[in-house]
């Protein structure tokens, strides 16, 4: 999974990709079951979407000075379309299968609702 290094790189990614999905996490507090299960679900979703779409998926460590304060809650999934946030999920359910199902259905629902023309 790609690790975004700084805000300049994040801005470049958001400009280059129509759809970008990031997991925000704190490497100093990355041992919770919620974080682990959400990471598994995010990787599964990333593999599924990357095989069908030109989508960028990556992780952002909010413990790094560059990203500190960029989100209010970790772990979190954030979806960008054309550089704008269209979806956020705070935390997870502590079960990777449920997290995967909820993420997939939620993102598909949002994309459909705004007529993005993207299906996966």
Supply the CATH number for residue 13's domain.
3.40.30.10
Distance CA 90, CA 59 (A): 15
Tokens representing 8 are 């300049």
What is the pLDDT at residue 31?
Answer: 65
Whether 68 is covered by a domain: the verdict is yes
Could you tell me the pLDDT band of residue 112, with boundaries at 50, 70 and 90?
A: very high
Evaluate if residue 7 carries a pLDDT over 80: yes
pLDDT tens-digit map of 46-75: 888 877 788 899 999 999 999 988 888 889
Which residue segment(s) compose the domain that 92 sits in? 2-113
Whether 120 is covered by a domain: the verdict is no
Whether 29 is covered by a domain: the verdict is yes
Among 17-31, 44-58, 85-99, name the most confident range: 85-99
Tokens representing 33 are 């079951």
**Domain total in the chain:** 1
Whether 56 is covered by a domain: the verdict is yes
Whether 59 is covered by a domain: the verdict is yes
Average the pLDDT over 25-41 and give the result: 82
What is the pLDDT at residue 94?
Answer: 86
Tokens representing 114 are 């705004």
Whether 79 is covered by a domain: the verdict is yes
Instruction: Sheet containing 76-81: give its strands across.
Output: 2-3, 55-61, 19-25, 76-81, 84-90
Could you tell me the pLDDT band of residue 21, with boundaries at 50, 70 and 90?
A: very high
Burial level of 65, CB count in 10 A (0-12/13-18/19+)?
exposed
């Amino acid at each position: 999974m790609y690790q975004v290094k700084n805000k300049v790189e994040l801005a470049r990614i958001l400009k280059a990709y129509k759809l970008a999905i990031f997991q925000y996490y704190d490497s100093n507090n990355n041992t919770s079951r919620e974080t682990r299960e959400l990471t598994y679900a995010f990787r599964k979703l990333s593999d599924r979407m990357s095989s069908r779409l030109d989508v960028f998926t990556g992780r952002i460590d909010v413990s790094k000075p560059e990203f500190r304060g960029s989100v209010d809650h970790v772990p979190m999934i954030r979806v960008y379309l054309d550089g704008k946030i269209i979806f956020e999920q705070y935390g997870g359910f502590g079960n990777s299968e449920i997290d995967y199902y909820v993420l997939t259905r939620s993102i598909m629902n949002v994309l459909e609702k705004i007529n993005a023309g993207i299906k996966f």
